[in-house]
Amino acid sequence: MPVHNNNVGAFTRKDEEEGVDPGDVLDEWSHGKALLKPADQLELTDAELKEEITRILTANNPHAPQNIVRYSFKERSYKLTSVVDQMAVHFMLEGSLLHQDSDEALRLRAKDSLSEETTTVDTGAEPDEDKPETPEAGVEDRPDSVTSKTDKKEPKLTNQFNFSERASQTLNNPLRERSCQTEPPPRSNFSATANQWEIYDAYVYELQKQEKNKEKQKAVQSKKDNDKGKKKNMMMETQVDDITKVGNSARIFERMVNQNTFDDIAQDFKYFEDASDEFRDQEGTLLTLWKFQYEKAKRLSVTALCWNKKYQDMFAVGMGSYDFSKQGRGMVVFYSLKNSAFPEYIYPTNSGVLCLDIHEQHSYLVAVGFYDGCVAVYNLKEEGLEPAYKSTAKTGKHTDPVWQVHWQNDDMDNNHNFCSVSSDGRIVSWTLVKNELVFTDIITLSLNGAVSEEPEGAQQPTCGTSFDFHKQIDYLFLVGTEEGKIYKCSKTYSSQFLETYDAHSMAVDTVKWNHFHPKVFISCSSDWTVKIWDHTINTPMFTFDLNAAVGDVAWSPYSSTVFAAITTDGTVHVFDLNINKYEAVCEQQVVSKKKTKLTHIEFNPIYPIIIVGNDRGYVTSFKLSPNLRKKPKAKKGQELPKGPEVEIAKMEKLLSLLREPEPSTL
């Protein structure tokens, strides 16, 4: 119990120094310590105190966010991050302390002991044997103590060579900083939407600005009446119209704006195929694409349509009127599928246009026939609105409306020439010689069916309404008349007709040779019928009654058995004789108003689209569904033959079923 006594003695000495009674201290030790409880502490029963409550400690950080999302470039969307960093750092201090048992600490100790041995060998000093092994009482011999650090002197390594160290300190040049602050260049943000009306407003504003500048120039020139030489110089240096300078760029920009505006139509034109054709039992439909209209040609009818053979996205439209009691002005308009909002070229005419044709090789030459009997040739390369060639009364123009014109192959002198047919009964060949049109009458039609060779007035000529030249035989052509007859004629044999067909009971509106089969042609009339003929037989091979006046008919360029016709009730009829010889595979109403009449139809040379014109000046384009341009399926292991021979054989197979068998000779 000596420890207890020492403690008591210690207490007594301390108490004596502080003047405290020792008896009071013993009383405090003798009494037990009482538990102090807060007044609001909950009192629990023994069972509740003995109940074990399990607490599970996890490594998850309760404050870590659980809804972190990151962008996934693979899936192109934001994804919730499943792995969240749960480590929380409360304190971190970078230091150079090493654990004494680590390998690096052992290497450092070995290195220090080697350095001490080398110093003792070099100086020849003996180790301190006289020093007591035990340190002073109450002082621990710790290597990191202050005394051990002060007693140890760092040994100075002497160089064995004669080495002298000399050093000098030079002044460093003071650093100087120079800076200046400039005003930032002015900036302005500009954004606008380029659409048709803003482009139009910009053009109108530019024209007004130019007119004001011209008025100012006139005012300045009026003040300088005395300086005649200066006047001439100023007139020569007038600014060129800015719009003409940027005409090509503005046209390209306008096309870009329109293609963005009608992008859905362009996508349908390029890629859309009606998948429902598979369930229609060989029937097809027409998908409406672009609608072409010109504000100044609203009251005119579409009297002619013709595609450009070289630039297949461009077509020409002739504007006039079929109401002969209300004849007036006309117009020739050129549209492109790349810009449906505004025409590419516009040529106003004094007389109504009834027909036109674009040259196949020289696509800038356009032959036009007018209601007043004139024919003209427009050159798109030349500037101006007047035609390059035009017939007059002195150069043999027709006396009645010109119903159709057609370009021919160049003659032996390489001169361009075309033919025309008119209500005066004349079929004339026009040759472009230098700056004038030279005419040559090919044939003159008469009512009795013979060529009129007698003097004028002896026979009454019949009215020619349409004609078409053979695709392979240049001199062979067909002529449709107002009486409903069709004549087969030859340019080399003009004394009489080669054949006469009693085709229709009313005027023949259109007659056209088949693109593939050399013997087949088609005709239509206002007597509601469309007829297909073999020119070696006087009777039609097929006759279709469409229950309305037929305005125009056209063969397709991709199949010998497909053709389309339009009727005045606003319906487009598409036939494929290879699929159905009795009914149309497509009958579709394409006008919104009942009074609107369709006037002309044309197939595009390469694209599966058609254009249709009406009597209100509108031209609408349609895309043919897959059933309307179906090709025969190839058998397994066999390649499908291609070329015009296949189309000829397809039409010949149909005709062979209708021709009368030749009588057998015994």
The per-residue pLDDT for range 194-233, each reduced to its tens digit, is 888 888 888 999 999 999 888 888 777 666 655 555 555 5
- How much is the pLDDT for 1? 43
- How much is the pLDDT for 554? 92
CATH number of the domain to which 415 belongs = 2.130.10.10
- How much is the pLDDT for 124? 52
Structural domain contains residue 465: yes
How far apart CA 129 and CA 147 sit, in angstroms, is: 19
- How much is the pLDDT for 125? 46
Q: What's the pLDDT band for 271 if we cut at 50, 70, 90?
A: confident
The per-residue pLDDT for range 487-546, each reduced to its tens digit, is 888 888 776 788 888 888 888 989 998 888 888 999 999 888 999 988 888 888 889 988
Question: Above 80 in pLDDT, residue 471?
Answer: yes
How far apart CA 325 and CA 329 sit, in angstroms, is: 13
- How much is the pLDDT for 139? 43
- How much is the pLDDT for 662? 52
Average confidence (pLDDT) over 4-28:
51
Structural domain contains residue 439: yes
- How much is the pLDDT for 453? 47
How far apart CA 243 and CA 649 sit, in angstroms, is: 56
The two structure tokens encoding residue 547:
């229950």
Work out how many domains the chain is built from and give that number.
1
The C-alpha angle 125, 128, 132, rounded to 5 degrees, equals 175
The per-residue pLDDT for range 605-645, each reduced to its tens digit, is 888 899 999 888 889 999 988 888 776 665 555 565 677 78
Question: Above 50 in pLDDT, residue 10?
Answer: no
The per-residue pLDDT for range 298-348, each reduced to its tens digit, is 888 899 999 998 888 899 999 998 887 778 888 999 999 888 888 888 999
Structural domain contains residue 546: yes
3-state secondary structure 469-504: ECCCCCCEEEEEECCCEEEEEECCCCCCCCEEEECC
Phi first, then psi, for residue 184 (nearest 5°) are -65, 150
Q: What's the pLDDT band for 131 if we cut at 50, 70, 90?
A: very low
Structural domain contains residue 21: no
Q: What's the pLDDT band for 4 if we cut at 50, 70, 90?
A: very low
User: Average pLDDT, whole number, for the chain?
Assistant: 79
Q: What's the pLDDT band for 601 if we cut at 50, 70, 90?
A: very high
Structural domain contains residue 201: no
Structural domain contains residue 13: no
Q: Which domain holds residue 327?
A: 261-446+461-659
Closest by alpha carbon to 438, among 456, 465, 411, 400?
411
Task: Give the global pTM.
Answer: 0.61
- How much is the pLDDT for 641? 64
Structural domain contains residue 42: no
Average confidence (pLDDT) over 580-595:
84
The two structure tokens encoding residue 128:
């301190």
Is residue 465 within 8 A of residue 508, CB to CB? The reply is yes
- How much is the pLDDT for 245? 66
Average confidence (pLDDT) over 79-105:
86
Q: What's the pLDDT band for 9 if we cut at 50, 70, 90?
A: very low
The C-alpha angle 132, 135, 141, rounded to 5 degrees, equals 130
Alpha helices in 46-145 (DSSP H): 46-50, 103-123
- How much is the pLDDT for 564? 92
Structural domain contains residue 530: yes
The two structure tokens encoding residue 497:
């007709």
